[in-house]
Structure 1
């Protein structure tokens, strides 16, 4: 799934504790390691563990099960496992509950169920707010914004992204998505401001360069668009470079003095 930090963002254990890892944590780490080499086997291991345990052991079994199911593209299984982990986590552990709700929402979104994703991501934001975790709340708000775009609710999506960039202004992803949405809403000046912020936070990000070029060409600044897309190609081969090359081919040799340039033929890849 897109937000791997939701899966892996766990506090580091103190050095002294690493040699004294408890059996529950040891099992979870072995299950995650198994996902990297054989996700199908990890999926089976987690199912067995879930059926044989209760309490925290069962919560972590569902955590690994959902992660393995995500790796296998079994999105309904992943959503069910993450939601079970959320529901079985004690009510006062709101930070952990927020992570599981966000993971369940991501799984629902990946599986094409935007309505369910919206409900789960709203729950994740509520839990994160209760936990006082601005970062987790921002991540959930970003994904809620993506979901609202899928549902054709652009103004609401913009509100979610405004919230995300306010909560975590240091995360470039929120600014990039905000710029893309503002551009789609034909608010090019605001889109330019947002993409400049994203570029400051992640210089050399090809997705930012692609979007900056699209905003520039739609604003009638062909030379700025050309420079943005050429910078993406300079970063090295890949999908972003191929997309930038296609945009440049359509732009042709016209400069800022050209009367008009048609918009690029496709949207740049979403981060």
Structure 2
């Protein structure tokens, strides 16, 4: 099964005119979201890619066989799509390094792969590397993806790449670099609630509660019903000594998304808050 960010970027091919979770594992959920937000024109090739990706979610071995067969006769951008599907199949089997290698091979296959598609393939590869724990290599791949996204004028994906860079820097224990990446993400996509949420979380971990409060308020304005934002808002509030605000945030999660994992966490926080 796949990580969220991977699943998302992988479902669609290049734009011919030119970007925490149940059943699908957390590593690939964000990827699926990004893919669904990237509109493409339907073509026969796209249909084959979609079919191969759908097969990968059901039978990753069969999808790898299909992708290898497709690759033998593919030319131009369709070779990249066959490699993309193979990478997705590897990811669904949790072979993260193999998935990353396939995505990078797709990215570098030929000049038929335009900068927009290159940026998305690079982001897929980096997310596979992040999941594999190879954060330093992921940053290198993300730097290339960032350049490709900028060349394509793909600001939304540039912002997502900065969020991925921040994740890698946090994992490497480099909060200053993570903060710079998050600042770039907010500048590129000021309406991206997740950028503000992650910024608030980093500020809170750095004991800058004033900044954390300001940033979580902005995240909440942009997406008032996101349970992750409500959970973080409560944590920031309780650390600032505002138990009533924390209680209100966590109770709102239980009311809005009672079956979510965040609601379960919120309930445990409320129990702790109400203990003598």
Q: Report the TM range for the smaller structure's normalisation.
A: 0.7 to 0.9
Q: 2:186 pairs with 159, 165, 186, which one?
A: 165
- Secondary structure at 2:190 match in 1: coil
Q: Please tell me whether residue 80 in structure 1 is matched to residue 101 in structure 2.
A: yes
TM-score of the aligned structures, taking structure 2 as reference length: 0.84
Q: Please tell me whether residue 249 in structure 1 is matched to residue 256 in structure 2.
A: no
Looking at structure 2, the residues matched to 76 and 111 of structure 1 have their Cα atoms a distance apart, in angstroms, of 7
Looking at structure 1, the residues matched to 235 and 220 of structure 2 have their Cα atoms a distance apart, in angstroms, of 14
Q: Please tell me whether residue 44 in structure 1 is matched to residue 65 in structure 2.
A: yes
Looking at structure 1, the residues matched to 221 and 235 of structure 2 have their Cα atoms a distance apart, in angstroms, of 18
Using a 3 Å threshold, how does the CA distance of structure 1 residues 210 and 122 change in structure 2: closer, same or farther?
same
Conserved in 2, the CA contact under 8 Å of 1:83 and 1:104?
A: yes
Using a 3 Å threshold, how does the CA distance of structure 1 residues 89 and 158 change in structure 2: closer, same or farther?
farther
Question: Which of structures 1 and 2 has the bigger CA Rg?
Answer: 1
Using a 3 Å threshold, how does the CA distance of structure 1 residues 122 and 250 change in structure 2: closer, same or farther?
same
1:212-257 deviations in Å (ceiling 9; x for gaps): 0000011111110111111111121231111111111111257xxx
Q: Please tell me whether residue 64 in structure 1 is matched to residue 85 in structure 2.
A: yes
Q: Please tell me whether residue 12 in structure 1 is matched to residue 45 in structure 2.
A: no
Looking at structure 2, the residues matched to 129 and 208 of structure 1 have their Cα atoms a distance apart, in angstroms, of 29
Q: Give the CA RMSD over aligned residues.
A: 1.8
Looking at structure 2, the residues matched to 159 and 186 of structure 1 have their Cα atoms a distance apart, in angstroms, of 17
Using a 3 Å threshold, how does the CA distance of structure 1 residues 77 and 52 change in structure 2: closer, same or farther?
farther
Per chain length, whose mean CA-contact separation is higher, i.e. which structure has more relative contact order (CA < 8 Å, sep 6+)?
2
Using a 3 Å threshold, how does the CA distance of structure 1 residues 54 and 92 change in structure 2: closer, same or farther?
closer
Q: Please tell me whether residue 193 in structure 1 is matched to residue 225 in structure 2.
A: no
Q: Please tell me whether residue 33 in structure 1 is matched to residue 61 in structure 2.
A: no
* CA shift for structure 1 position 92: 7.7
Looking at structure 2, the residues matched to 40 and 96 of structure 1 have their Cα atoms a distance apart, in angstroms, of 25
Q: Residue 261 of structure 2 aligns with which residue?
A: 239
Using a 3 Å threshold, how does the CA distance of structure 1 residues 55 and 9 change in structure 2: closer, same or farther?
farther
Runs of 4+ in 1 over 6 A off after TM superposition: none
TM-score of the aligned structures, taking structure 1 as reference length: 0.85
Q: How many residues align?
A: 247
Conserved in 2, the CA contact under 8 Å of 1:6 and 1:99?
A: no
Q: Residue 244 of structure 2 aligns with which residue?
A: 223
Unaligned runs of 5+ in 1: 255-271
- Secondary structure at 2:191 match in 1: coil
With 67-76 and 144-153 compared, the bigger mean Cα shift is at 67-76
* CA shift for structure 1 position 203: 1.4
Looking at structure 1, the residues matched to 78 and 259 of structure 2 have their Cα atoms a distance apart, in angstroms, of 45
Unaligned runs of 5+ in 2: 1-27
